[in-house]
Amino acid sequence: MLPFLYAAWSDRHLSVPEIQALRKEADALDFLSTEDRGVLMEWSNPVHPPSRERFQQWLTSGRQAAETLPEDKPASLAELAVLLGLSAEEAPEEKHAYWAGQLAALRQLEEGLGGVREDTYRSLFPRYDQREKLFEAIREGSVAPADLQAVLDGEHAAVIQRVKNILLRPSFERSTLRIKEDYREQVLRWCKELAQEGIGALSYPVAYGGQDSMDDYAAAFETIAYHDLSLAIKFGVQFGLWGGAVYNLGTKRHHDRYLHATGTLELPGCFAMTETGHGSNVRGLETTAVYDPEHRELIVHSPSVEAGKEYIGNAMHARMAAVFCQLIVDGESHGVHAVVVPIRGQDGLTLPGIRVEDNGYKMGLNGVDNGRLWFDSVRVPVENLLDKYGGIQEDGSYSSPIESPTRRFFTMLGTLVGGRVFVPRAGLSAAKSALTIAVRYGLRRRQFPSESMRSETIIMDYPNQQRRLIPLVAKAYAVQFGLDHLLDRYVRRTEEQMREIEAMAAGLKSYATWFATAAIQECREATGGKGYLAENRFAALKGDTDIFTTFEGDNTVLMQLLAKSLLTEFKKSFQEDGNFAVLKFIGRRVGTIVTEQNPYTVRQTDREHLEGRGFYLAAFQFRARRLVSTLGSRLRAYIKGGMSSYQAGLLCQTHMIEAAEAYVELLVLEASLKRVDDRRPTNQAAQDSADDVTRVLEKTILLYAMHTIEQHRGWYLESDYISGQKSKAVRKLVDKLCAELRPEVGALVDGFGIPDELLGAPIAR
């Protein structure tokens, strides 16, 4: 009887016909005892509704009974009552006929109550609810995850799938390896398996076992990052950093000697650049390589403890190291060069003169063997100098194709910018994993009974939860489009584009990794205590990616690099075009006419206006342009006032970072809008479905734009670019867009295409 009482009262008030139905039909039910019948009459008295405690008790008993129910959901409450009745019997088989006979009476009762609402049913029997609700969430949305995935994966779908298939093998199953040595061994084994499949060498020339495809390598790398970030980083160190140094800084001699064995991981190597005393300051490295003309050898030496190579990935497994040091020939230093130094023999033991120290446990990435390295006058043949940009001639003299030491230094460093193109992709993969877990959990988890006690509301229906997660999902899409644009530019780069691409990479690396840190944190908090359990992945995602904002260049330093490069470009455009360049800069670059701060626009708050690019794209452009131009003016004013340019730069650090961020955001928005625009003409065939996908993507990017403007609303208000009313209108639009995307959010995260097995988290299943 309990389900009926619960159902009846869950609408809070019983109508007179309902009460009549309840009382009348209850009379017809043989299985009720006299006592039960009395209780029922009393409880169905509308003057004395059951207490809250009583109600809770029914719910509890109902759920308890439901534990014994079959997997498949019965068609009606009546049938369910029969099943419950049967399951309460000592020998249910014998009573089957009896209970079947009750079905009709129960059905009448159910009808008398005006039918039982689906959500009442579900709240009473949560076991039927979960799958139901999931199904419902997907049905509500207008797009299929596969269509979104097709957009994100693009032309790399094949290699992504290929890597996923490898990662889904039993050999890649995760286990809790708390001791770093165990974990490192596992990661090394995984890395070898990937190498055997040719994944590590994807970017190398075909002659060395590769496929000459940097794109595919990038796609593989970001896919590996779904599985395990230690694996992704070790993979990147071996094939990207060590292999990349050999490939980009070395010449054919080095390629022939090392590249094939690097791709197969027969020759594990490391990339020894950073020193303890010099984090972000590569130019100031203290390790020396002194040329000894007599033996035609280089003597690699760490002059002090602080000059030790710090945080070197693969340090405990590597047999080779690409060591960055000041090259000294005939008493003269020629600046930073890389030298290949064998550090371990085939037997795995360190060679003479090499000292290695384990970095120990870290906040995360404990599957990566980071260590410190010192060299005590280690001699290597001069051929070990990676000499593409500077080498030692037969006659013992130094020569370089690039005369200026500064240009040489930046050219060499520029070839290593790949790390900054790849790391943000791994960060984004981690953010996508976190968002998928948190959103799926939010679509299942309930909290607090809603007012009608019908069911606890699913978390994702709380506006606050939508606000927490949906803008982050939108930003993940936008950031991916931005990173895709960067990758494309990087892969197809020419020599003269390098400075721009380096600046872009510096900015996007910072933006994407800061986003990853923030998104993962928000997801952990949004999943409460469940999110804190290691099994649900946030611990690893958070701990592993936390260093991304630091390595491959500290974000705050990188953002200042970008700002300086923007200033240079700004000055250039200024000199070329006279005063108007100030306005044209960036404006010209994006090819859009900027609507300026006229008093009408500043106050315009209708949705049509806000959703138009004339507002939001212009707002992004305005911010980027204004922050760079005011930065330039401020620096000039300080210097004119007698300050050194160094001091002036220090004072403007925060301004620089803000200007760089504005530029990156504009870049991300433009890349995203272009991806949306590009979809329009090409999808004539499957127009309907394509239109839905385009529409959802458009709204997603719009949310990214509005949310970004909202975050900077202090600045926009200060700059009189928007009025207070307009700022509020933007906030309301963000709320609205979150609500409108709520039905799509399941598909949006499923569109990331992360297999359940790689996701791992039980709360996401």
**Residues 485-524 within binding reach of a second copy (CB under 8 A):** 517, 521, 524
What CA–CA distance (Å, rounded) separates 356 from 366? 17
Which of positions 694-753 make contact with a second copy (CB under 8 A)? 713-714, 717-720, 724, 727-728, 735
Which C-beta is closer to a second copy: that of 223 or that of 274?
274
Which of positions 449-468 make contact with a second copy (CB under 8 A)? 449-451, 456-457, 461-464, 467
Which C-beta is closer to a second copy: that of 28 or that of 651?
651
What CA–CA distance (Å, rounded) separates 184 from 234? 9
What CA–CA distance (Å, rounded) separates 155 from 147? 13
First vs last C-alpha separation in the chain: 33
Does 71 help bind a second copy (rule: CB under 8 A)? Answer: no
Choice from 114, 353, 543, 612 touching a second copy (CB under 8 A) = 543
Strand partners, 278: 275
Site string for a second copy, 85-124 (x = CB under 8 A): ----------------------------------------
| Cβ contact 264:397 at 8 Å | no
> What is the closest distance, in whole angstroms, from the C-beta atom of residue 22 to a second copy in the complex?
20
The phi and psi torsions of 377 (rounded to 5 degrees) equal 45, 55
Residue among 442, 446, 448, 444 nearest 470 (CA): 442
| Cβ contact 659:625 at 8 Å | no
What CA–CA distance (Å, rounded) separates 407 from 602? 46
| Cβ contact 665:672 at 8 Å | no
Which of positions 214-273 make contact with a second copy (CB under 8 A)? none
The region of 21-29, 132-140, 431-439, 537-545 touching a second copy under the rule CB under 8 A is 537-545
> What is the closest distance, in whole angstroms, from the C-beta atom of residue 608 to a second copy in the complex?
22
Choice from 288, 621, 694, 700 touching a second copy (CB under 8 A) = 288
Does 533 help bind a second copy (rule: CB under 8 A)? Answer: yes
Does 433 help bind a second copy (rule: CB under 8 A)? Answer: no
Choice from 12, 24, 52, 572 touching a second copy (CB under 8 A) = 52
Three-state SS at 549: helix
Longest dimension (CA), the chain: 112
> What is the closest distance, in whole angstroms, from the C-beta atom of residue 568 to a second copy in the complex?
18
Q: How far is CA 611 from CA 221, 469, 620, in A?
A: 36, 21, 13
The region of 208-216, 303-311, 585-593, 597-605 touching a second copy under the rule CB under 8 A is 303-311
Choice from 549, 573, 672, 694 touching a second copy (CB under 8 A) = 549
Quick one: 698 exposed, middle or buried, by C-beta within 10 A (0-12, 13-18, 19+)? middle
Tell me the site size for a second copy, rule CB under 8 A: 102
Residue with tokens 């019983």: 14
| Cβ contact 370:311 at 8 Å | yes
> What is the closest distance, in whole angstroms, from the C-beta atom of residue 303 to a second copy in the complex?
4
Residues in the chain: 765
What CA–CA distance (Å, rounded) separates 472 from 436? 11
Which of positions 365-404 make contact with a second copy (CB under 8 A)? none
Does 535 help bind a second copy (rule: CB under 8 A)? Answer: yes
The β-bridge relationship of strands 320-329 and 269-272 is: parallel
Which C-beta is closer to a second copy: that of 549 or that of 700?
549
Choice from 158, 528, 568, 596 touching a second copy (CB under 8 A) = 528
> What is the closest distance, in whole angstroms, from the C-beta atom of residue 555 to a second copy in the complex?
8
Choice from 18, 79, 554, 577 touching a second copy (CB under 8 A) = 554
What CA–CA distance (Å, rounded) separates 722 from 171? 56
Which of positions 586-645 make contact with a second copy (CB under 8 A)? 644-645
The β-bridge relationship of strands 391-392 and 385-386 is: unpaired
Does 145 help bind a second copy (rule: CB under 8 A)? Answer: no
The region of 221-229, 238-246, 276-284, 577-585 touching a second copy under the rule CB under 8 A is 276-284
Residue with tokens 């928000």: 522
Quick one: 294 exposed, middle or buried, by C-beta within 10 A (0-12, 13-18, 19+)? exposed
Which C-beta is closer to a second copy: that of 335 or that of 424?
335
> What is the closest distance, in whole angstroms, from the C-beta atom of residue 131 to a second copy in the complex?
15
Quick one: 564 exposed, middle or buried, by C-beta within 10 A (0-12, 13-18, 19+)? middle
Strand partners, 264: none
The region of 86-94, 153-161, 216-224, 544-552 touching a second copy under the rule CB under 8 A is 544-552
Does 283 help bind a second copy (rule: CB under 8 A)? Answer: yes
Which of positions 641-670 make contact with a second copy (CB under 8 A)? 644-647, 650-651, 653-654, 657
- Structure token digits, residue 688: 């309907």
Stretch (H or E) spanning 741: helix 724-741
Does 60 help bind a second copy (rule: CB under 8 A)? Answer: yes
Which of positions 147-186 make contact with a second copy (CB under 8 A)? 176, 178-180
Which C-beta is closer to a second copy: that of 185 or that of 735?
735
